[in-house]
Chains A and B, each alone.
Chain A
Amino acid sequence: MADLQFVPWVDNLLGGLWVTIYVTVLGAVGATLVAFALGLLVRMKAALPRIGARIVIEFFRGTSLLVQLFWLFYVLPLLGYRLTPIAVAVVAFSLNFGAYGAEVVRGAITAVPRPQWEGAIALSLSPVQRMRRVIIPQALPLMIPPFGNLLIQLLKSTPLVFLVTVTDLATVADQYRAAEGNEAFIFGLLLVVYFVLAYLCTLLMHVLEARAKGRLGQREERSKIFAFRGPAAQEGEVA
Chain B
Amino acid sequence: MTWDMDYALDSLPPILEAFLRYTLLATVLGSVLAAVLGLVFAVIRRAHVPVLAPLTTVFIEFVRSTPIPIQLFFMFYVLPSIGITLGGLFVGVLTLGVHYACYYAEIYRAGIDAVPPGQWEACTALSLPARYQWQRVVLPQAIRNVLPSLGNYVISMFKETPFLFLISIPEMVRTAIDIGGGSFRYVEPLTIAGLIFLAASYPSSVALRRLEHRVGHA
A is bound by B: yes
Which residues of A are in contact with B by a Cβ distance under 8 Å? 58-59, 62-68, 70-71, 74-75, 78-80, 152, 155-160, 170, 173-174, 177, 183-184, 187-188, 190-191, 194-195, 198-199, 230-233, 235-236, 238-239
Does B88 reach chain A (CB closer than 8 Å)?
Answer: no
B193: Cβ under 8 A from any A Cβ = yes
Tell me if A63 and B73 are in contact (CB < 8 A). no
Query: Scoring B residues 49 to 66 as 1 if CB is less than 8 Å from chain A, else 0, what string do you get?
Result: 000000001001110111
Q: Are B65 and A195 in contact (CB under 8 A)?
A: yes
**B73 adjacent to A238 (CB under 8 Å):** no
How many whole Å from A68's CB to the nearest CB in chain B? 8
The proximity string for B residues 187-218 relative to A, scoring 1 for CB distances below 8 Å and 0 otherwise, is 10011011001100110010010000000000
Quick check: B159 and A184 within 8 Å, CB to CB?
A: no
Asked if B66 and A156 make an inter-chain contact with CB atoms under 8 angstroms apart, the answer reads yes
Docked CA distance A236–B77 (Å): 32
Please determine whether B67 and A233 come into contact, CB atoms closer than 8 angstroms. Answer: no
- Proximity bits, B104-141, A CB within 8 Å = 1, else 0: 00110110000000000000000000000000000000
Taking a contact as CB atoms under 8 Å apart, the answer to whether A238 and B153 are in contact is: yes
Most A CB contacts (10 A, CB to CB) among B81, B193, B194 go to B194
Going nearest first, the 4 A-B pairs with the smallest beta carbon separation are A183-B77, A233-B106, A198-B65, A74-B186
Residue of A nearest to B110 (CB): A233
Contacts of A232 in B (CB 8 A): 106
From DSSP, what is the main secondary structure of chain B's interface residues?
Answer: helix
Q: Which residue of A lies closest to B1 (CB)?
A: A78
Determine which residue in A70, A195, A199 has the highest number of CB atoms from chain B within 10 A of its CB, and name it. Answer: A70
Q: A64-B173, A70-B177, A236-B149 are in contact. Are A156 and B186 (CB under 8 A)?
A: no
Q: Which listed residue (B64, B149, B191) contacts A230, Cβ 8 A?
A: B64
A residues in contact with B201, CB < 8 Å: 62
Interface residue SS majority, chain A: helix
Bound complex: CA A230 to CA B102 (Å): 12
Taking A64-B197, A71-B194 as known contacts, 16 extra A-B pairs with beta carbons closer than 8 A to each other, sorted by chain A number, are A63-B198, A70-B186, A70-B190, A74-B186, A155-B67, A159-B70, A174-B73, A184-B78, A190-B74, A191-B66, A191-B70, A198-B65, A198-B66, A230-B61, A236-B152, A239-B156
Please state if A59 and B198 are interface contacts (CB–CB under 8 Å).
Answer: yes
* B156 with A238: CB separation less than 8 A: yes
Contact flag A152-B65 (CB < 8 Å), given A66-B163, A233-B109: yes
A71 and B67 within 8 A (CB): no
CB nearest to A96 among chain B residues: B159
Min C-beta distance of A222 to chain B, whole Å: 22
Verify A67–B190 contact, CB threshold 8 A. yes
| A66 adjacent to B173 (CB under 8 Å) | yes
Beta-carbon nearest neighbor of A20 in chain B: B67
25 contacts between A and B (CB under 8 A): A62-B202, A63-B197, A64-B162, A64-B173, A64-B194, A66-B173, A67-B162, A67-B194, A68-B194, A70-B173, A152-B65, A156-B65, A156-B68, A177-B77, A183-B77, A190-B74, A194-B66, A194-B70, A195-B66, A198-B65, A230-B106, A231-B64, A233-B103, A233-B107, A239-B160
B156 touches A194 (CB 8 A): no
Please give, as numbers and ranges, the residues of chain A lying within 8 Å of B208 by CB-CB distance.
236
Which chain A positions have C-beta within 8 A of B190? 67, 70-71, 74-75
Please name the residue on chain A nearest to B107 by beta carbon.
Answer: A233
What is the bound-complex CA distance between A74 and B180, given in angstroms? 9
